[in-house]
Structure 1
Amino acid sequence: MGSKPVIDGTAETWAPAVGEHLNWIRDVLKGPALPARRRDELWSDLRTVQRRADDPELRIAVFGEASSGKSTLLNAILRRRLLPSSALVTTTLTTALRYHDGSEGLRLRTADETELSWPSAAFGDWADGAHILSADSLEAALEQVLTTDLALLVRDLEVRSPVRLLGDGVAILDTPGFSVTDPGHRELAEAAVGLADLAVVVVPAVAPMSMTLTDFLTGPLRNHLDRCVFVITKIDLIDEDERCGTIEFVGDRLRAMGIADPLLLPCAPGKALEEIGGSADGVRTAAEHRGHLSDFRTVERRLLRLAMERRESAIAATVLTLLSRLLAAVEESADAQRAEYHCAERALAALSLPDFTGFLDTWARRALDKVNAGAEYAATSTAARSERSELDDKVVAAVAGDKIDDIREAASEVSRIVRLHLRQEAERPACAAAGRASELLAAEAEDLARDFATQYGTLAGLAGESPSAPMVPVTDLELPGMELSGIDEALTAVGAELTSVDNWRTGGGAAAGAVIGSMIAPGIGTVIGGALGAFVGKRGRDTARTQFLQKARPLIAAAHSEVTALRSASLQLISQGVGDSVAAVQQKYKAEFGDEIVRLSLANERRRAALVFDITAAEQTAADARHRREQVAVLRRGTSVPL
């Protein structure tokens, strides 16, 4: 199709071009250049174009507003009052009128794809099922279908008539009035535009070129104005001296719309029907050739000649218009597919998961910071609740009153109190820190599992595989047990250093106290017992108690400082355990999924390369469809010859 085609009105000039375009579209639909969800629709559209190209029937659609005289015009062509008037019609049906030799009847297809005909028993049963009385004439059957609830059940309707209408192989499409309030009427009239090879537009002389009609001509019919004939009806209802002015007014308005030489056919179909008298035997007197009937016959002959002369070019125009729409849909679909490919390609390029180690390292840094901070806060909050004064109050109570008289018992009790209190003071913050660290570490591991599943699913999906999340490995998140056995040894060392001071060496009392203390509690008992045993003597209780506390408190303070240091060491062990667990999680993910991520990354690289190819193919398809549409437009302009 490199040279400009020429249309001369015969199918031989346009049918091969249409066939070549349709074959190209078939090849496109079989390839990957279009979205799969659109292919079924486009296949259906292609079959519609093919059927129309193979069908030699000429379709003349009649359009008009309600009460424009459209039904009366068609009844005059049928030579009988067969179609109900617009005032009665409530259906949104396009009715096809076709010639049928020797008999008349109806054929219809219901919404559930059931095909029926009148007259038949099946039609009677169907009408009875809707509580409609049986019809004994074509007029009655047609009125039932068009003006009752039966219309809601009908999808297609055909009227067969023994009247030759406008020639052999011609179907007249009676469309619903497009000015009624029901939007379904206008939608069906607009849909009929695409089926019309020629369009007869009814313009009532009593209300010519209304805004509704103008909107329809410049809207749905704007690309079909070269195939429109304008029949001015009800010419008998205006004065004779106004008729020429009315016709001239209609012509001027149409020329203003871009129709250089509109074909205007004035007539009075209603009067023509009256002159026919409803006779169906085909015998006419000379009177039928006079007056309005004669004028109407002139209009009929003009329409018949037009149908014969423009048959091929009109059908070609319809086929080429449908083909142009199909090519536009192919172009739009290819552009949409190209946009989708571009989006997928950008998503692949932006995906960071192939840097698997970086992904895990980022998580590890975040997890360590969050877990360690939470553990430290838990330890600090717990330690703050352990008041130093609480221990001092317990020590004072242990030597209160006459308890100081039995210095051995008092020393033993003080040793026990100090050991338990300081050990608890070391254990509680460490336990709180360990517990909080375990909770936070488990939560971070779950977050990692979710993030990894999402990223993995995205990566797998973009690679063209199932985006289901992988099984996340179960990781042991238990932290190492706390080591607090060094507390007693540390306290013993502190006590030993303090007992070397001269003022603690007071003789046998100190030795006896040390022996007793070592029996009660290792470490703490030895030091405190030895120190306090030096006070055994005859001095007064208050003096003994005061001296006892003066010597005991520095020792307790030193032990407390040592326990605080040991607690910090325990937190360091917890932090080390957190680091080990985080490293274990990283290692397990790498072991479980490292190879899989590499495989998917390579698959994505291949997918990206394929997408680049698909993008190029979709762009080429869209460009080809655009070029072909331009070629079809040239063909279509070749069919636009004057009416």
Structure 2
Amino acid sequence: MNTTEPSTEHLVADCLMFARSLVERHVQAAGERGGLLTLLDATARRIDDPRLCVAVLGEFSSGKSTLLNALLRADLFPTGVRPDTATAVRIERAQHRTGYSFRLGDSPRYSVAWDEPSLPAAVVSALQARAPGGEPPGTSADLLRALTGQPPWCDLVDGLRVQWRAPVLDEGVVVIDTPGSNVDITAHVDVATRVAADEADGTIVLVSSQIQLTDSLARFLRKAVPPPVLQRCLFVVTRMDNLDVWEEDGVLEEVRRRAAHVLGIRHPLVLGAAPATVLKELAGKRLPVSSARWCRRFPDLERALVRFLAEERPVAAVLRTLRLLDAALTAVGGRLADRRQELEEAGRELRAQQVKGLDVFVGEQHAAVRAVVRRAEREMSLSVRVASLTSYVMCQAAVQELITGCATRTELSNALRSGVAAHVRDALDRLIRNVRRRVAEQVDRAQDEVTGLLEKAFTRQYAQLTKKTGLSAGARPSASRRRFPVRSAAATESARFGATAETLGKRITRVGPVGSAAAGAVLGNAVLPGVGTAVGAAMGALIGHVRRPGLAEARRTAGTDLRIRLREVYDEVDAAARIWVDTTVTALEEYGTACLAAWRENYAEEVGRLLTVQAAQQDHLHAELAAVAEDLATVYMRQATIAGDLTRFSHSPRLTAGLDIPSAGAARPADDV
């Protein structure tokens, strides 16, 4: 029978659909995703299953096995044994043959028919393989007892299912017995939680009339049973036939009071029963009057149980689905929160690697290139000045030594006529070669530095993100190794510089001591080539005859005049060198500009693609982040709604009249069953 109301069915279907969509969209871990989807599928199948499932909880010696045997009208399960097994026992109506099935760990399911004279060989072999040295029980009845309460067999069993025929099972009830415990055993708590929360439509808690609701049982229930399920438990007090009639009301009321006070249950339902009397009657034993009364009322308990489950099923289906949805939402919410953090971190990384527009980036590199050129300019200017000063000092010393070494006027005249000019020309030639070499080296270094600077800057700015986007890096521009603009300009100015120096070297031959025939010849030849030599010599000889200074004075006069003329020559050389350096620097600047243009041309398409990819990544990140934030807000809103629904359904009115159970405080609640 499926008693779920249409509105409840709609709510459950909506919750399951929403939970599945969230899990499929956001839970990527295979294990977690599969586990949640399996739970959702199991919940959907459970809702479609018309049978009524009841979970039976209780401590050791609370009478669970006795109640199960009474419901089944057969002595199947051992009583009074320690709760060693940590598996649940599912008892269903047998469709054909009675019997049971089970697994041993991860083994396939083994089936045992109740009416078989001996155990199947496969079952015996499997049991012996799992417990070497142990001898399995010989009959199906003995094996069932061993699997539910006798080590080592009860430690091996998993997924035990019993197929039987009994009145309560014929009503479509499935009984699930959970391992009881007076102590906090994690495996027992986990099984009780799973059965009560995910499988059962209702939960029965067994309490002995002698022990009643103990603190250890209360702790176990609070830990094992979800609060909404605990609010709707049915408490059955066993061994009621051991009480005097006048004690019955007090015991039932005490259980109600303890359930309300210790467990916080608002309207606890409590019934009395004596299932042992049913087994005694089946065994043909004579019952006392009190026991017979409780034995006759046991079918009423079964009917009340069926009505209780029928009433609880709609609410249980909703509560189970809401709890499962809440678990799914919690998992999805955690995954969404992690994903939001991942997206925010990815956004920060993407912003840190933000690709600049090529025009902006190239503009920024102009300053770096200019800095390299300015440094090269300073180095070239310094090299030229040092080389020029060194050449001047050495040339002056050589000329002075030449003049000082002249012992006669004739030697002095010859030195002034040819020797000085040769020294100056040689000095200027060496200066030109030295300056050309040094400037060429500095130009090479500057070009290499510009090329390396641009290559490093472009690689740092674009290549890292290129790897992330999967695009190929731009090839190195061929212009990065061009040197012809600088060398061409340098060669032009070098030739001009050399011509100037050579002209100035020739001019130095015009300097000589006044009054000397040799000096007059030099000066005359400078004015009138060919003829001027004789005229100048004659005039010099004549003037020298009139005023003929001594050799020492002539050397001093020539040295002073030559120093002045030599300084003028080197000043003009320095001016020509500065022009050469300026032209070289201009060529270097043009080279840097050409390199930037070449890099820009090579990277234009690449950077354009990178910018497009990065913009798309930013858009994708923002869109996903917005979607995650929206889903996360929906999750939080749904969880708040679920919390309210769980409270509302767990405290919804119970149809106690349908169970024929008077309200708490009535005179004889136990008589009604």
TM-score by length of structure 2 reads 0.66
Aligned twin of 2:472: 471
Q: Which residue is 1:442 aligned to?
A: 455
Shift, 1:210, TM fit = 1.1
For 1:126-275, list aligned pairs within 5 A.
126-132=126-132, 133=134, 134-137=136-139, 138-140=141-143, 143-144=146-147, 155-161=158-164, 168-177=171-180, 180-194=183-197, 195-203=199-207, 205-206=210-211, 208-210=213-215, 213-214=218-219, 216-217=221-222, 220-232=225-237, 248-256=253-261, 257-265=263-271, 272=276
* Separation in 1, partners of 2:243, 2:379: 102
- Measured after TM superposition, the shift of residue 441 of structure 1 is 0.8
Partner of 1:495: 501
Question: In the alignment, which residue of structure 2 is the partner of 1:418?
Answer: 431
Distance 1:470 1:401 in 2: 69
Equivalent AA in structure 2 for residue 445 of structure 1: F
> Partners in 2 of 1:243 and 1:100 — Cα distance?
36
Q: CA deviation at 1:202?
A: 3.3
Report the aligned-residue RMSD: 5.8
Change (3 A) 1:444 1:609: closer
CA distance in 1, matches of 2:552, 2:122: 130
Tell me the CA shift for residue 415 of structure 1: 3.4
SS in 2 for 1:322: helix
Matches within 5 A, 1:385-400: 388=386, 392=390, 396=394
Q: Which moved more, 1:94-103 or 1:235-244?
A: 235-244
Q: CA deviation at 1:442?
A: 0.8
- Structure 1 residues 184, 219: closer, same or farther in 2, change over 3 A? closer
Alpha-carbon distance, 1:286 to partner: 1.5
Distance 1:474 1:52, change over 3 A: same
Task: Report the Cα offset of residue 64 of structure 1.
Answer: 3.2
Counterpart in the other structure of 2:310:
312
The Cα shift of 1:631 comes to 8.6
User: Which residue number in structure 2 is paired with residue 585 of structure 1?
Assistant: 599
CA contact (8 A) 2:23 2:36 kept: no
- 98-107 or 184-193, which moves further after superposition? 98-107
Write the deviation string for residues 302-328 of structure 1: whole angstroms up to 9, x where unpaired.
541222222322222222223334565
Partners of 1:203 and 1:232 within 8 A in 2: yes
Q: 1:425 to 1:72 in 2, by over 3 A?
A: farther
**Identical residues among aligned pairs (%):** 18
Equivalent pair of 2:493/2:583 in contact (CA under 8 Å): no
Query: Any conservation in 2 of the 1:403–1:410 contact (CA below 8 Å)?
Result: no
Which residue among 101, 109, 129 is the counterpart of 1:115?
109
**Is the CA contact (8 Å cut-off) linking 1:335 and 1:619 kept in structure 2?**
no
Q: Shift in Å at residue 334 of structure 1?
A: 9.3
Shift of 1:59: 1.6
Moved more, 384-393 or 566-575: 384-393
Partners of 1:441 and 1:76 lie apart in 2 by: 91
Residue 98 of structure 1 is matched in structure 2 by: 92
Q: Give the partner amino acid of 1:453.
A: T
Quick one: distance in 2 between partners of 1:430 and 1:639?
A: 96
Number of the residue aligned with 1:486: 492
Q: Is the 8 A contact 1:320 1:636 kept in 2?
A: no
Measure the CA separation in 1 of the matches of 2:460 and 2:563.
54
Question: 1 or 2, which has the higher helix percentage?
Answer: 2
Aligned 1:554-633 pairs, distance under 5 A: 555-556=569-570, 559=573, 562-563=576-577, 566-591=580-605, 594=608
Shift of 1:93: 1.8
Evaluate the alpha carbon distance shift between residue 496 and residue 135 of structure 1 in structure 2; reply closer, same or farther with a 3 A threshold.
same
Q: Does 1:125 find its partner at 2:129? A: no
- Cα pair 2:228 2:650 within 8 Å, conserved: no
Distance 1:191 1:51, change over 3 A: same
Task: Sort the Cα spacing of 1:88 and 1:309 in 2 relative to 1 into closer, same or farther, 3 A.
Answer: closer
Once residues 207 and 166 of structure 2 are traced to their aligned partners in structure 1, the CA distance between those partners, rounded to angstroms, is 25
Residues 65, 179 of structure 1: 8 Å contact kept: yes
Match of residue 461 from structure 1 = none
Question: 8 Å contact 1:96–1:159 — kept in the other structure?
Answer: yes
Q: 1:76-101: per-residue Cα shift (whole Å, max 9, x none)?
A: 65654735866461x43222133548
Choose which of 77, 91, 98 in structure 2 pairs with 1:82: 77
Equivalent runs, 1:449-460 vs 2, <5 Å: 449-450=462-463, 453=466
Per the alignment, in what secondary structure is the counterpart of residue 93 of structure 1?
A: coil
- Structure 1 window deviating more from structure 2 (553-562 vs 128-137): it is 553-562
For residues 22-63 of structure 1, the C-alpha deviation after alignment (integer angstroms, 9 at most, x for no partner) is 665687689899726478666544432332222222222122
TM-score normalised over the length of structure 1: 0.69
**Between 189-198 and 584-593, the greater mean CA deviation after superposition:** 584-593
**1:327 to 1:77, Cα distance in 2 relative to 1, 3 A:** closer
Cα 1:276–1:601 shift into 2, 3 Å = closer
Counterpart contact for 2:36–2:328, Cα < 8 Å? yes
Shift in Å at residue 264 of structure 1?
Answer: 3.2
Indicate the SS of the match to 1:417.
helix
Q: Name the counterpart of 2:445.
A: 432
Q: CA deviation at 1:453?
A: 3.0
Equivalent pair of 2:105/2:157 in contact (CA under 8 Å): yes
Hey, what does 1:50 align to over in structure 2? 44
Q: Is the 8 A contact 2:420 2:508 kept in 1?
A: no
CA distance in 2, matches of 1:156, 1:191: 13
Rg: which structure is higher? Answer: 2
Letter of the structure 2 residue corresponding to residue 472 of structure 1: A
1:511 Cα deviation after fit? 13
For the 8 Å contact 1:106–1:142, the answer to whether it is kept is: no
In the alignment, the residues of structure 1 paired with residue 234 and residue 82 of structure 2 have an alpha-carbon distance, to the nearest angstrom, of 24
Greater Cα shift, 373-382 or 136-145: 373-382
| Structure 1 residues without counterparts, runs of 5 or longer | 1-9, 458-467, 513-537
- After superposition, the Cα gap between the structure-2 partners of 1:146 and 1:582, relative to the gap in structure 1 and judged at 3 Å, is farther
Corresponding residue pairs, total? 586
Residue 485 of structure 1, CA deviation: 0.9
Q: Kindly indicate whether the alpha-carbon contact (under 8 Å) linking 1:61 and 1:192 is maintained by their aligned counterparts in 2.
A: yes
After TM superposition, the structure 1 stretch with the greater mean CA deviation from structure 2, 241-250 or 475-484, is: 241-250
